[in-house]
Amino acid sequence: MNDNDKPHDEAVELAKALDEVPEQFLDAGDDSEDARLTAMETELAELKQQVLYARAETQNVRRRLEKDVADTRTYAATGFARDVLSVADNLARGLDAIPAELREDARLASLIAGIEATQRELEKVFGQHGIARIAAVGLPLDPNQHQAMIEVPSAEVEPGTVLSEMQSGYMLKDRLLRPALVAVAKKPD
């Protein structure tokens, strides 16, 4: 028996108890008819209340289960998505590492174009599955989305403003997949 069957079983037991109520009170002995009737009505009201509570609990369990199933479907790929983010990072680092003079070389132009097309396709797939990059540079530090790695003295921006991004952060729908690793401005010495 699992937890989902418990409220149902309690309701069945209470219904059986309702069937047995008249027999319990027929042997009441010397009590008057009114007293037995009042006692039976009180017992019936209590049992009805217990049945209502059992039904409500069953409904709550059903709703929680439906929410858990929906969350599982929505966020099932979280581990895989985190692993693929390192592939996206390495692809971006590779493109960033290509010097300008090599970008102008006609022999490498198609290779670079292919890598850039792969990066765009990866970003498109991320978008289709609800994976979005977190904005960071120029925004105030948000500890729910950014992880400050270093503080840099700066008189140009307000303290607590993100100056640069060391690693991109991502959200999976409304949940944090990975925080952005950032450098944050502080007051100059």
Q: What are the extents of the domains in the chain?
A: 6-75, 77-129, 132-189
Angstrom distance (rounded) from CA 161 to CA 141: 6
Q: Please tell me the distance from the alpha carbon of residue 98 to that of residue 79, in angstroms, as a whole number.
A: 30
Confidence of residue 145 (pLDDT cuts 50, 70, 90): very high
Contacts of 47 (CB under 8 A, 6+ apart): 14, 17, 18, 21
Express each pLDDT in 111-123 by its tens digit. 899 999 999 999 9
Q: What is the mean pLDDT of the chain?
A: 85
CATH number of the domain located at residue range(s) 132-189 in this protein:
2.30.22.10
Give the pLDDT score at 64: 95
Q: How confident is the model at residue 154 (pLDDT cuts 50, 70, 90)?
A: confident
Q: Which residue has the tokens 């069953």?
A: 58
CA–CA distance from 3 to each of 7, 11, 15, 58, 73 (Å)? 8, 14, 19, 10, 22
Strands 162-167, 146-153: parallel, antiparallel or unpaired by DSSP? unpaired
Q: What is the DSSP letter of 156?
A: S
**How far, in Å, CA of 1 to CA of 140, rounded?**
52
pLDDT at 20: 59
pTM of the complete model: 0.61
Q: How confident is the model at residue 151 (pLDDT cuts 50, 70, 90)?
A: very high
Band (5; pLDDT cuts 50, 70, 90)? low
pLDDT at 143 over 60: yes
Distance CA 99, CA 79 (A): 34
Q: What is the identity of the amino acid at 57?
A: E
Question: Quick one: average pLDDT of 133-157?
Answer: 90
| Per-residue pLDDT reduced to its tens digit, 34-68 | 888 999 999 999 999 999 999 999 999 999 999 99
Angle of the 33-75 helix axis to the 6-26 helix axis, nearest 10: 180
Q: Is the pLDDT of residue 4 over 60?
A: no
Strand order in the sheet with 162-167: 146-153, 180-186, 162-167
Residue 152 contacts residue 186 (beta carbons within 8 Å): yes
